[in-house]
Amino acid sequence: MTNFPLRFGTGILNILGLLLLSFIPWPRPRPLFTGVSASILTAITIFYQTEYVYMVWRWIKYEPTKPITNDSSLPLISVVIPVFNESEFVRNSINSVQLSDYPKNKIELVVVDDGSTDDTWEHVNKAVDSMPNCGITYRIIQHPVNMGKRKGIQTGFTTATGSIIISLDSDSVLEKDSLRNIVSPMMHDPVIGAVAGHLASLNVSRHSTFSLDCLLPRLLDIVYDHVGNLPRTALSTEGFVTILPGAFSAFRVNAVRSHVDTLCDSTFLGSYIKHGEDMELAYRILDDGWKTVYQSNAVVHTMAPETLRKAFFMFSRWERTMYTFLCLGYPALTARKAWKLWSTFRRPHSSSFPDILDKEKQEAETLITWDRFGSIYPLMNVACIWLKGPLMILITFTLLRNLVLYPTNTANKSHRGKIGMEVTSFMAGRDVSAGGSKLDLYLWTPDFEKPELVD
């Protein structure tokens, strides 16, 4: 992340790719949305693309906080690892803590076995046997039955005695300097309440480079960057990171302790919420006035699903969590915080600005203007996140309705049914037959003739 020329080139290529996909002339469209609906969706699409370009630009400019090199300045930390049926792999997570370059006498390890039914508990005991020899103190706790990850986190966080608590998934492995790097932002800024680490797939190199077994983990590694690390980078400038991944995040005790006590009490439709603690803790910490940031050099390698079935369940859990908090009113909370952040940074233009002769003052005024514009991004990001769910439902419903009520007809029987039901893309276009007076949103199906428009 510190190589600016590489990031700049990658970011520009990313933006150019988006523009090419947006304006490529796909052939032979048929209408999906028309009139006002098409105009609204076109405006939303442009808004999404603007937000994405802005996000990539902020990623290009991002630099992580410099790590603390003086060991005496580092605080006591507690690394909490909730584990369930990980068997021997949990030893890799524990060993990565032991191999860290963080001062060993300032590390407390808390492992919570959440009622595993395999040999996980035995492997936990074997892994911690060498801890006293290296100076790390440890606590291991076993739940009698499986009580869920939230309960495991609650048990570990309430047991921890460090001034900073670090959550680490049992299927994840730290790099040598990750603990030092994730703690450093909180040492530089006392207003930072939590720090999100950088997620990467661990199992991308377990097989041959061209093996199909590593194809899905490699694709998911790209997804982790695109939907996780990239947005967190863009939001970190204002201290407004809205998801603190359970795989690797750090929390200031004063910021998180009160919320951990009630973590297992959250309900939705009369049932206790079992997932989404990474999002809930972030929102609560932000609501208290703390900053939440991202540290790109605090890297954790986590096991990505290797089968489509496991990947499907992972994405389903993500979406279920998103819709749950959507219904609980979290969009309003984040919107209020984002608007407050925007209004805090706003400053009126100085009428005397053109008359400033001092170059330093002129540059300072320019920076103020840029800061005001830069603080718009959290509000844009919140809008995109919470519009995505309802928008996708609307598009899917309309698409299915149109495919059922207006099936594709074509004289070319060789193509009938081949790709007629396949959605390749949708974008805005003008109805040529109407003299360009009507704005339509078309479903692009390359091998079909455009049918008559139905108003």
Beta strands in 269-323 (DSSP E): 271-272, 291-302
SS (H, E, C) 170-198: CCEEECCCHHHHHHHHHHHCCCEEEEEEE
CA atoms within 13 A on the CB side of 90: 28
pTM for the full model? 0.75
CB 245 within 8 A of CB 318: no
Q: What is the pLDDT along the chain (455 residues), one digit of tens a residue?
A: 456 666 677 777 777 776 776 666 655 445 566 677 777 777 888 888 888 888 888 888 888 999 999 999 999 999 999 999 998 899 999 999 999 999 999 999 999 999 999 999 999 999 988 787 888 999 999 999 998 889 999 999 999 999 999 999 999 999 999 999 999 999 999 999 999 999 998 887 655 555 666 778 888 888 888 888 888 988 888 888 988 998 999 999 999 998 998 888 887 887 788 888 888 899 889 888 899 999 999 999 998 887 888 888 888 888 777 777 777 777 677 677 667 766 665 444 443 333 434 444 444 444 444 444 446 777 777 778 777 767 777 777 777 777 777 665 444 444 444 444 343 343 344 443 444 433 444 444 444 444 444 44
How far apart CA 445 and CA 32 sit, in angstroms, is 11
Q: Going from the N-terminus, what domains does the chain have, and what CATH number goes with each?
A: 4-61+406-444 (no CATH), 71-328 (3.90.550.10)
Contact 428, 439 (CB under 8 A): yes
293, β-bridge pairs: 195
Burial (0-12, 13-18, 19+ Cβ within 10 Å), 24: exposed
Owner of token pair 């400033």: 356
Strand order, beta sheet including 291-302: 137-142, 107-113, 77-83, 164-168, 248-252, 192-201, 291-302, 172-174
- Tokens at residue 381, please? 């990001």
Beta bridge partners of 168: 248
Helix 4-23 vs helix 35-61: crossing angle, to nearest 10:
170
